[in-house]
Structure 1
């Protein structure tokens, strides 16, 4: 009963937050240049590559291979499901961004608003791919390693906000991406026992490998 109430409430909250972000997207984007600094430039430049699809895929695959060799089943399962969550959420994100066709803040057509289906360069702002990917991976690892939940989500949020700082996305883009990545990852984690490939770890996430 509680879950049945929470889901609509969470959906309503998301819609409200996304709607508010859409209203202030332009204002935030216009304000970013006033907050530019060498320190923030260096910080964002350092963490931004972590959110790229190639980086996350390499990290997940490397962790899956390494953990299998050193017999760390929890880390192995987390890496495997993270890779699946990243790929699944990424596929949805890729489809949505080309269906919506929203110009990026730094694009020549930024003031044109949503243009609709398009595969043109820089007409793919909504939702953010970086936000989708990092929140998908963070959600899985947070489920397996609860003590790291806040550092993981803090890093994911920093990477996502960095995309706004770089004028590659609007705030609403990263909110939508974060929600998409989190939801897909949570669904996969909940049904992990039914996944192909033998994801059968039954132990508590708090237990050491």
Structure 2
């Protein structure tokens, strides 16, 4: 619960005590990524293809919809509108920064996708990096790394977790389900979604850390 405040903090209520955790996660992701790419991705792909079912694909498709950039932007936008209309500063702030985080993370994710040009799991050059470099205009089959769904889902989850720390596990849990759904659908490798989560969290942190905030008043 946020209490009324008579001062303005440099980074607001959404960027407190997170610097070390974020940088620690990013560092851990960079360390583990080579191991995932070399030893885990191929094995997981084979396992997933062996356990996929019609029911599972339907569930994963429904879950993965939560990670579309437009869906995440819509969630943040609705939160912003609710906050402005109802006079709830916390919701307005979370919605505004959530929208910024989704946009920043999505653009960053697209930049990395077209830089690394990794072939998706079910393509002929499955898992290869720089497979069609430059891959701009070569189709969605060569932009696997990082997972765009994971990028935007974790960016929004980061902002919401800062705004509503009581529900942190819920927000990150939903983002995690989105990431897992991408692997189950054989659209991405485990390393793709780990990298996507790292990019998304970093984007969310940057938005919350360096944006100019207004004082937050009222209760949730």
Note if contact 2:119-2:128 (Cα within 8 Å) is conserved in structure 1.
Answer: yes
Contact 2:26 2:202 in 1 (8 A): no
* Residue of structure 2 equivalent to 1:118: 135
Q: Is the 8 A contact 2:118 2:127 kept in 1?
A: no
Which of residues 19, 32, 35 in structure 2 aligns to 1:20?
Answer: 35
Identify unmatched segments of 5+ residues in structure 2.
1-17
Aligned partners of 1:8, 1:160: CA distance in 2, in Å? 20
SS at match of 1:58: helix
How big is each residue's C-alpha offset from its partner over 1:93-123, in whole Å with a ceiling of 9 and x where there is no partner?
1011011111111223326543232121111
- Which residue in the other structure is 2:90 paired with? 74
Aligned to 2:14: none
Note the 1:1-209 alignment, pairs <5 A: 10-23=25-38, 24-110=40-126, 112-115=128-131, 116-119=133-136, 120-121=138-139, 122-192=141-211, 194=212, 199-202=213-216, 208-209=219-220
In structure 2, how many angstroms separate the alpha carbons of the residues matched to 1:134 and 1:154? 10
Kept in 2, the 8 Å contact 1:51–1:159? The answer is: yes
CA distance in 2, matches of 1:164, 1:10: 21
Q: RMSD across aligned C-alpha pairs, in angstroms?
A: 2.2
TM-score by length of 2: 0.82
Q: For residues 64 and 202 of structure 1, do their structure 2 counterparts lie closer, same or farther at Cα, with a shift above 3 Å needed?
A: closer
Q: Unmatched 5+ residue regions in structure 1? A: none
Partner residue, 2:6: none
Kept in 2, the 8 Å contact 1:142–1:148? The answer is yes
Q: After TM superposition, where is structure 1 displaced by more than 6 Å over at least 4 residues in a row?
A: 3-8
CA contact (8 A) 1:102 1:125 kept: yes
Task: Name the one with the larger helix percent.
Answer: 1
Shift of 1:14: 2.0
* Preserved CA contact (<8 Å) 1:74 1:201: no
Q: Which secondary structure does the structure 1 equivalent of 2:122 belong to?
A: coil
| Distance change in 2, residues 1:33/1:93 (3 Å) | same
What do the CA deviations read for 1:156-207 (whole angstroms, capped 9, x no partner)? 0010111011111111111111001101101211223x2xxxx41346xxx7
Contact 2:67 2:150 in 1 (8 A): yes
1:44 is displaced (CA, Å) by 1.0
